[in-house]
Chain A
Amino acid sequence: MARAYIFKRFERFWHWAQAALIIAMLLTGFEVHGSYRLFGWGRAAGLHTSVAWALIGLWLFAIFWHFTTGEWRQYLPTTDKLGAVLRYYLTGIFSDEPHPFRVTRLSKHNPAQRLAYLLVKVIINPLIWVSGLLYLYYNELGATGTVIASGLGLGAIALVHTAAAFLMLAFLIGHVYLATTGHTPLARVRAMITGWEQLADEPEPETRKIPAQGVST
């Protein structure tokens, strides 16, 4: 079976750090929201703020990395094979059909993943960050009078922030589950840890374009 080095070191670090931070944000965030009591409200709020800054920092690095490496293109949406991929997850996966998409270094994500991650990046994340920063700096906004002028109350800000958090939670659940749908349940998780993805026996033509040093057998 062929292996390909798909996920680079920074990418893996970014992914797992982001995973930990987002889980921490969800845990503390829903406590601040009042859904349960875990850390105690004050600690939850404090942690939520600190972790938010860590996540913002990580994101700045990640954005820089995506643009300097051109990796941002991985999230360009495509309809090519989208239907086939969706069909695979709906039916084919149960009859052991081969995955219609072949992972390559130039195209790490199948069209459904591309779409999902793009939605996270262009909808959920901006909603969370914008509403979160407004939430965090609500007092300063209030002092300038903008909040009153725009009719943007803390309740509205919190509503958007919470809605985005629910979307992120739903994404996280789906994402964690779909991570088990590799050719073995842990194959994709392993790839995300080591960077090496197991390729199917008959690689698609694109795979051959990968420089030799990136592929081993």
Chain B
Amino acid sequence: MGPFLWREGKRNQKKGVYIKPETNFPIQRASSEMANKLISEMGLPKSIANVFSARNILTAKDALSLSEFELMELMDVGLEEVMAAVGHISEISCPPYQTALSLLEQRNHNEYLAGHLPTGLKGLDAALCGGIPFGVVTELVGPAGIGKTQFCLKLALLASLPTSHGGLGGRVIYIDVESKFSSRRIIEMGLSSFPEIFNMEGMAQQMAGRILVLQPESLSEFTESLQKIKVSLLQHDVKLLIIDSMTALASGEYGQGPPKLGWHISFIKSLAECCRIPVVVTNQVRSQVRDEASRYVFQGHDRADTLEDTSKVEYHLVAALGIHWAHAVSIRLVLESRSGKRLVKIAKSSISPSLGFFFRIDASGISFLNYEGEEMSGPEANSIHCQGQSGIINYDHEALQ
């Protein structure tokens, strides 16, 4: 009779579901739908399940958005019963857990290259434990003309290459917001870096045929295509998603206050994770008065000594999408120029120290001048320099023609 009887029974039924290492990602996908699971299907005793549905509390989300006391008042039942019901709903909606060890073993066993897309850039791959990781969002930030798109094109090419040549041998979805995608450039990169493949009859066509380019024109169109690709990502062996860039869309709506990218941030992250593919996103820069919004209140008194040199109003570059976005990306690579030389820095990564590599853009795409990264200290890794940029732009033109 009491509420505890059915709880016990339920727990035993559920036991087998807890750890299923071999099918981890389908569970994760299913669990994101758990929030909308109907209370009527959770095996609560009929009497209380009926009360929930009579009060229009239909899903786990509805029920868990209310406190126990609110539920008591709404449903007109005692605290004990409410607690038992909430406990039961929570247990069912709670995602399954696994140990970090089983997570590691599963990644190593099930995933090609232990879940990394090698960039072919030696130092960078070593620092990132093998390349651009699957399942998370990697961001490229930098001023115009620095080589973000070149980087993206190169990655697209790499992912489409057969596995025998270090690629992922799959399809690539390239969301080209700024209309900068160049098939000619990809073929050029392919010809110069993998001549043995691209000189083969029909191979260039096959490789380029694996790269699907979408060119949304507005934020709403972009949103729509994101929702659509979710299905195709899983069905069509897509190994990489590139969005170049996130900023162009958001800034289109700047007139009406800050862009609302909250939904996009979570959706893109969940795409990466559900499909276990790398997602690469580019971000532009904007200028900001130095020190604006980079201090806490308690640091206030330190300000006096920096104030004098900033009195002439110094501007510096920051990533265009703000701090909210920056929290969401797992790896941030900053591309910048220092006295005419291009530098790529690992500005945020949970596995790598902050390293910087000088690179140049050539026919084969991107190549490093040296493979031993330069250690970046402190916030230097996050700053974006842009010196001698005009030279760089000219160089770009040469490279492209």
A binds B: no
Instruction: List chain B positions with a Cβ less than 8 A from chain A.
Output: none
Instruction: List chain A positions with a Cβ less than 8 A from chain B.
Output: none
